[in-house]
């Protein structure tokens, strides 16, 4: 039994006032309308109409049920409309805040790919590492790399972000490869000051226990790319997210060190304000991102084996 069609059927009969008329409007045989109405009445065990072979009058029960049917049908259509992709592409703007390095390196290609499917979307991208107030500044969405999501906002985890400690082969040859975290104090450390403490690096030992080890910051920068390039130029040891250095590691320009001590795992999130009616653009884009970054990130596929 198709509850839905039966309701629609019933509504039409009420509004047109006759079975024949409703059948015309619905484009089906009147026998079908009659039978569906009968089915509905049998299902409810109630008479919806007083029938006098030629005339039909709603019963009180029928009238009450009619109003509820109308409301339910409207709700359903609205729900479908709100969720349905209005065929093909989306339109409108999408203002997004995203961290500069991750944004440039990995969100850029993703956004380009999304634009293939939805060329009508106008992206307004703000590459910035400061924390923006989503509501205040009218952002639809922000990409954040953090240890835990901000609970006051909706957060969808996009990808795990693992950091890697590494240095160039030449540097290691010249200065030696550290065997324990303590030895880092004798090395030149290049600090990515956004994600880590200035003077400490947080690690976990073989048993998964957290601890921090003091380092000697030889150079500090808020851009991961800069200290990566510095490390490639034999300037010292860095601790940066793998998504920044994965190519250099694959090419052997940088070599992981102290692999037994895993840096703290953090994550990339898409976050957006809690609004009652989330726009279809945001929903679709976030769905797209979640799917694209699902599983082990492509930047970790190769270097996974090396760590």
Partner DNA sequence: AAATACTGTTCATAATATCGCAACAATTGG
Partner DNA sequence: CCAATTGTTGCGATATTATGAACAGTATTT
Q: How far is the CB of 267 from DNA (least distance, A)?
A: 18
Helical H segments across 57-168, by residue range: 60-83, 100-102, 108-117, 134-137
Selected range binding its own copies among 68-76, 118-126, 209-217, 256-264, rule: CB under 8 A: 68-76
Contact positions vs DNA (CB under 7 A): 1-2, 5, 18-21, 27-32, 34-38, 51-56, 295
Residue closer to DNA, measured from CB, 8 or 225: 8
Tokens standing for residue 152: 């006051």
What is the torsion angle, in degrees rounded to the nearest 10, for the CA atoms of residue 96, residue 98, residue 101 and residue 107?
-50
Selected range binding its own copies among 117-125, 132-140, 210-218, 285-293, rule: CB under 8 A: 285-293
- Residue numbers 138-177 binding its own copies by CB under 8 A: 156
Picked from DNA, its own copies, none, the partner binding residue 170 (CB below 5 to 8 A depending on kind) is none
| Separation CA 41–CA 55 (nearest Å) | 17
Residue 145's DSSP bridge partners are 268
Contact letters for its own copies, residues 72-111 (x by CB under 8 A): x--xx-xxx-xxxxxx------------------------
Angle value at C-alpha 176, between 174 and 177, nearest 5 degrees: 135
Residue closer to its own copies, measured from CB, 58 or 175: 58
C-alpha distance across the termini of the chain, in Å? 59
Residue closer to its own copies, measured from CB, 40 or 230: 40
Rama region for 71: left / alpha / beta (φ>0; ψ in -120 to 50; rest): alpha
Q: Say whether 100 sits in a helix, a strand or coil.
A: helix
Q: In the complex, which residues of this chain contact its own copies (CB under 8 A)?
A: 2-5, 43-47, 50, 52, 57, 59-61, 64-65, 68-69, 71-72, 75-76, 78-80, 82-87, 156, 278, 280, 282-284, 286-287, 290-291, 294-295
């Amino acid at each position: 039994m198709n509850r839905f069609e039966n309701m629609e059927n019933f509504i039409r009969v009420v509004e047109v006032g006759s079975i024949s008329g409703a059948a015309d409007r619905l484009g089906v045989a009147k026998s079908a309308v009659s039978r569906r109405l009968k089915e509905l009445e049998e299902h409810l065990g109630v008479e919806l109409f007083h029938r006098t072979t030629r005339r039909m009058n709603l019963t009180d029960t029928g009238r009450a049920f009619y109003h509820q049917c109308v409301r339910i049908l409207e709700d359903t259509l609205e729900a479908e409309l709100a969720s349905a992709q209005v065929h093909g592409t989306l339109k409108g703007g999408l203002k997004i805040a995203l961290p500069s390095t991750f944004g440039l390196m990995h969100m850029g290609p993703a956004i380009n790919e999304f634009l293939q499917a939805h060329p009508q979307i106008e992206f307004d991208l703000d590459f910035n590492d400061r924390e923006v107030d989503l509501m205040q500044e009218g952002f639809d969405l922000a990409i954040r790399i953090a240890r835990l999501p901000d609970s006051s906002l909706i957060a969808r985890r996009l990808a795990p972000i693992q950091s890697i400690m590494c240095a160039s082969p030449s540097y290691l040859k010249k200065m030696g490869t550290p065997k324990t975290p303590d030895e880092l104090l004798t090395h030149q450390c290049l600090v990515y000051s956004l994600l880590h403490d200035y003077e400490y690096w947080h690690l976990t030992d073989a048993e998964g226990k957290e601890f921090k080890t003091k380092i000697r910051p030889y150079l500090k920068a808020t851009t991961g790319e800069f200290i990566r390039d510095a490390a490639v130029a034999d300037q010292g040891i860095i601790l940066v997210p793998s998504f920044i250095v994965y190519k250099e590691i694959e090419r052997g320009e940088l070599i992981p060190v102290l692999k037994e001590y895993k840096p703290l795992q953090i994550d990339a999130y898409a976050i957006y304000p809690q609004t009652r009616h989330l726009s279809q653009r945001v929903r679709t884009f976030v769905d797209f991102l979640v799917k694209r970054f699902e599983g082990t990130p492509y930047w970790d596929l190769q270097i996974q084996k090396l760590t």
